[in-house]
Chain A
Amino acid sequence: MSTKAIIETHELTKIYNGQAAVDQLTFIVNEGEIFGFLGPNGAGKTTTLLMLLGLTEPTSGKARVLGLDPTRDPIKVKSRIGYLQENMGFYPDLNARQMLRFVGELNGVTGSAAETRIESALQTVGLFEEIGKKIGAYSRGMRQRLGIAELLIKDSKVAFLDEPTLGLDPDATNRMIELIQSLARDQHMTILLSSHMLQQVQKICHRIGIMIKGKMVVQGPIDQLAQEKFGVGKEKYSLEQIYMKYFQEA
């Protein structure tokens, strides 16, 4: 695997009402990897993603995505990044086809090229049968898969997935995880994955970072973290044990 940095931040900070939501955050995500972005509720994960997308302005610090500054070049950054947001944000009155068509058009994907892409994307995520159903009538899991289909429409090489497994049943969680893994494998996407499902994260992530109270307390491959904390390889300890150890120390 090459080690070209796709995402790079340096002392990135966001202050809301005098409180730091993200506090001098410095981390790197390399090309082609699935980076597990972990941390308790309110740690500042979503805020970080918004800053990387140029949707929220950092109070201070530096961020680079694909070598671009998201604050200066938001259009370029947003055209290259697929973002699966926490609450999905689909229009409930549209059906899957209309929604994906809308997103496609905003990204310059139109006409018959768009239609074929929409159909194959829905096939990939297993929603082809529901193509004409209003999104308002979708279950949470279906919406999350539609979110993945949207990434395929954009054909982005970098994806920010904010809790794509939230509220899924065990079987759906596993299928979502497999889907994410296949994005990295087949589409060569670089994925920044925020999730609380540590067991699944452990299965697919190349590296992880643990964020607590706006700070990245540690980042690296899982076995390296296990080595650091417990002095043995990751076979011995689950990610959950490692995470809890860091969490208690912070």
Chain B
Amino acid sequence: MAQGLKTIIKKELADHFSSYRFTIIFALIAMLSLITAYMVGLNIKNELAGVAKPRFIFLMLFTSSGALFSLVQFVAFFGPLVGLVLGFDTINRERNEGTLSKLLSQPIYRDVVINGKFLAGVVMIAVMMISIVMVITGLGLLIMGIVPGFEELWRIFLYLIISIIYISLWLGVAILFSIVFRSTATSALAALAMWIFFSFFVSLGANILANALSSDTTESDPDKVMTRAKIVKAFSLTSPMELYTDATATIIDPMRKSTRSMVSMGPLESISMARFSGPLPLSQSILIVVPYIISLIAIAVICFAISYTVFMRQEIRSM
């Protein structure tokens, strides 16, 4: 391991674990996901009374909507916030406090600083996701009295991995902002803007673009409708959120045959759907999802490449 990497990871982890910031956001997310899972669990239990149990019922804990949204949607929306909060001021705060020059006047390479901060953040993200999933699984066992099957466990595991990659990508974006912007307030704003942009504007933009490209929106010609749908899809896939929702949907909802966008369904709806269609085998789900995962990783790698090139040549003094 590169010299100093372990030391920096250790220090960053200690900082995260003792920071109010992480404690608050973690408590918030744990609370919300608990409530969601609890309500979904109760729903499923009620609606299943006296009905034969369909396959993959356990996964419904993650996919069917509780009060407002399903757990999967919840992570897609709030996960980025965790990544951004963990990293938006990590370099510029140290630069402003003068600790960055202290760090870099020790015998370590500059990239070790970025890598250490990123890896420590990934550990935090993993800890958070794993504990949330474990709590939900436990809750499901308690409320529904159903033990997840082997394949379901695999799917939950894959869901975890994809989620960690997804949130880490946002951490990478946050670290990039903390390098590029000197002021922590600016990088916080930029991170927030980025999050809102991808949460709301990309899908909106996709529709506007599709409208502009295909003249008539009330077109009933199936070819035209298809083209339109393809434009919307292609454009949305520039958004990591879209990539993530589609990928996890395929993994965690085997009844899905493609990565069409997520519609929130109540448990009964999904159960009745399950009655009429066979599930996609795990291997097929994975096959569909691999390109999505690669795209997510590619975005993260691009962020990193930019971070490295900027940071290597940057002045490290605070003014």
Contacts and interface: CB of A to CB of B under 8 A. Distances in A.
A56 B316 contact: yes
Nearest to B11: A102
Contacts of B105: 53, 55, 78, 81, 83, 85
A46 B317 CA distance: 10
A106 B101 contact: no
Contact of B107 (A46, A76, A88): A76
Nearest to A77: B107
A167 interface: no
A55, A88, A90: residue with the most chain B Cβ atoms closer than 10 Å: A55
Given A56-B315, A85-B98, A88-B98, A105 B7 contact: yes
Contacts of A83: 105
A93 B18 CA distance: 10
Contacts of A107: 106-107
B257 to A, nearest CB: 52
B157 interface: no
Interface string A87-107: 111111100000000110111
Interface in B263-319: 313, 315-318
A183 to B, nearest CB: 18
Interface residues of B, number: 25
A50 B101 CA distance: 9
A89 B107 contact: no
Contacts, number: 64
A75 B11 contact: no
B148 interface: no
B3 interface: yes
B73 to A, nearest CB: 37
Contacts of A132: none
Contacts of A53: 105
A78 B99 CA distance: 16
A95 B98 CA distance: 17
A91 B107 contact: no
A240 B153 CA distance: 78
B98 A55 contact: no
Given A53-B105, A75-B107, A85-B102, A106 B316 contact: no
Contacts of B97: 89, 92
A88 B318 CA distance: 12
Contacts of A85: 98, 101-102, 105
A159 B217 CA distance: 73
A108 interface: yes
A79 interface: yes
A76 B109 CA distance: 11
A108 B3 CA distance: 8
A158 B108 CA distance: 18
Interface in A114-155: none
B318 to A, nearest CB: 7
B189 interface: no
A84 B108 CA distance: 17
B80 to A, nearest CB: 27
B141 interface: no
A109 B106 CA distance: 12
Contacts of A81: 105
A106 B98 contact: no
B123 interface: no
Nearest to B110: A74
Given A55-B105, A83-B105, 10 more contacts: A50-B317, A75-B3, A76-B107, A87-B98, A89-B100, A89-B101, A103-B102, A103-B106, A106-B3, A106-B7
4 smallest CB-CB distances across A and B, nearest first, come from A89-B102, A79-B107, A89-B98, A106-B106
8 contacts: A55-B105, A55-B317, A56-B316, A79-B107, A85-B105, A86-B98, A89-B97, A106-B7
